[in-house]
Amino acid sequence: MARLTPDPTFYPSPRSAMAAPREQLAYVVTLNTGSNGSAAPDALCTLDVDPASPSYGQMLGRTQMPNVGDELHHFGWNACSSALCPTAPHPHVERRYLVVPGLRSSRIHILDTKSDPRQPKLVKVIEPEELARRAGYSRPHTVHCGPDGIYMNALGAPDGDGPGGIFVLDHDDFSVKGAWEADRGAQYLAYDFWWHLGHDTMITSEWGTPNMVEGGVNPDLFGKYGHQLHVWDLRSRKHLQTLDLGAEQQMVLELRPAHDPNKTYGFVGVVVSLEDLSSSIWTWYRDGAQWAVRKVIEVPAEPADPDQLPPALKPFKAVPPLVTDINLSLDDRFLYVSCWGTGEFRQYDVSDPFNPRLTGSVHLGGIVARAAHPKAGALNGGPQMVELSRDGRRVYLTNSLYASWDAQFYPEGIRGWATKLDAAPEGGLRIDPDFFVPFEGERPHQIHLAGGDASSDSYCFPS
């Protein structure tokens, strides 16, 4: 009888994941912009990230979706290291399928990477009607592989209003099990979600309903975008606590909990402050029996000549940093912050999560700066989605955010690119001059690495 063993890309702890072999492939979703004169479907592309390969920094494969207008955005694996948790009912699932939702269409695509990792094969499409019927949600956004299923969130209801929330797919057949919440309490807006598995706690953040965000940033809605975190009991699926960052803090987005399951803190990025256009990073943490949140980083807006600004920013005479993504190294030491507006990418030492220390910075693109890459010259767009290798030595960036936001802040059009930075063990960043992937007629968004990365997995053991 064959012996079943766990997937070798599952790791019991962050430390063991950091010691794993280096990634060789990266997957990136792209939005087709129709700049070739006709609309075409979005795609999942495969990049060569092996420096020993003759095709290093080149596209190896491209899987096109069957429909036009999905706006592929965030995606994730069907299974990961959380399958090794003591509570996992599926210890022998494989990190095999990529779950790729369309943020505009509400379709969910399942792609198999096993037979040919360079050219994943589309094997299933979950239509929006099924998601609406089984869970009451639409506009699926984020995917996380949990011990007992595939967790996904959605920005809202099928009519484009709220509430947004979380639903679960079956590990085996990808059927929609239903909405996750048993009691949502005061929660209405949704964006990201993550958890502290060892403490039976989930944290969720807020952006806005589909009707609030799909047309771009609306000044008439300032003060109404999300400015709260929500704390949930992971087992009972009940809302426990609301953490309000203040009404001036608008669009509380990416969540990055500590990878060490014994720690009870994490980081969240806020896109903009209505007081001064700054962006900020906050630390949430458990304080006794309750949870609390504290601002730990503020990134100021940069003054600019209105003639150099898009119409949406001319009245402010400044470029907001627009922190749209963050990532945390597996050893919980370095936090990475994308400033999509100014084109700056920052690295902080967060060994003390309440007193971050800036240790690295590079500039690429930016609304005004147009900072250059050694291989490509001046860039538009800016560092946006960020992914980090398991060992913390390589940082991958793409430059497109969301079609309606791209049009507002970069009205000349985003010329898509992906690039890589090298991160020094003790801090500091350097642009890899040999890795620059241009995308013609499409814009790259999220990147994930074959075998796992710093934002794909969660762990149940500390070492």
What is the domain partition of the chain in residue ranges? 22-449
Q: Compute the distance between CA of residue 112 and CA of residue 115 in angstroms, rounded to an integer.
A: 8
DSSP letter string, 234-283: TTTTEEEEEEE--TTEEEEEEEEE-SSTT--EEEEEEEEETTTS-EEEEE
**Rounded to whole angstroms, how far apart are CA atoms 199 and 195?**
8
pLDDT per position as a tens digit, 430-442: 999 999 999 998 9
Local structure of 129: helix, strand or coil: helix
Q: Please name every residue paired with 281 in a beta bridge, in sequence order, or none if there are none.
A: 269, 297
Q: Is the dihedral of CA 426, 427, 430, 432 positive or negative?
A: positive
Q: Is the model's pLDDT at 93 over the cut of 60?
A: yes
pLDDT tens string 353-407: 999 999 999 999 999 999 999 999 999 999 999 999 999 999 999 999 999 999 9
What are the tens digits of pLDDT across the range 214-250? Answer: 999 999 999 999 999 999 999 999 999 999 999 999 9
Query: What are the Cα distances from residue 100, in Å, to 6, 348, 414, 445?
Result: 24, 30, 22, 12
Please check whether residue 18 is in contact with residue 392, taking contact to mean a CB–CB distance below 8 angstroms. yes
Give the pLDDT confidence of 112-139 residue by residue, as tens digits: 999 999 999 999 999 999 999 999 999 9
347: pLDDT strictly greater than 90 = yes
Choose among 160, 241, 177, 175: nearest CA to 204: 241
Of 306, 307, 326, 308, the C-alpha closest to 316 is 306
List the structure tokens of 322: 């627009």
Tens digits of per-residue pLDDT, 243-290?
A: 999 999 999 999 999 999 999 999 999 999 999 999 999 999 999 999
Q: Judge contact between 255 and 192, C-beta under 8 A.
A: yes
Q: Which residues 6+ apart lie within 8 Å of 173 measured at CB?
A: none
* Residue whose token pair is 């491209």: 62
CB-based burial label for 174 (10 Å; 0-12, 13-18, 19+) = middle
- Residue 35: is its pLDDT beyond 60? no
Q: Note whether 344 and 366 are within 8 A (CB).
A: yes
Residue 91 pLDDT class (50, 70, 90 cuts)? low
94 is written with which tokens? 């494989």
Peptide bond into 303 cis (omega under 30): no
Q: What is the pLDDT of residue 280?
A: 98
Looking at CATH, the fold of the domain delimited by 22-449 is given as: Methylamine Dehydrogenase; Chain H (2.130.10)
pLDDT of res. 150: 97
On the question of pLDDT at 38 being above 90, the answer is no
Q: pLDDT tens, 321-346?
A: 999 999 999 999 999 999 999 999 99
Are the beta carbons of 212 and 220 closer than 8 angstroms? Answer: no
The yes-or-no verdict on residue 108 having pLDDT over 90 is: yes
Q: Percent of the chain having pLDDT more than 70?
A: 98
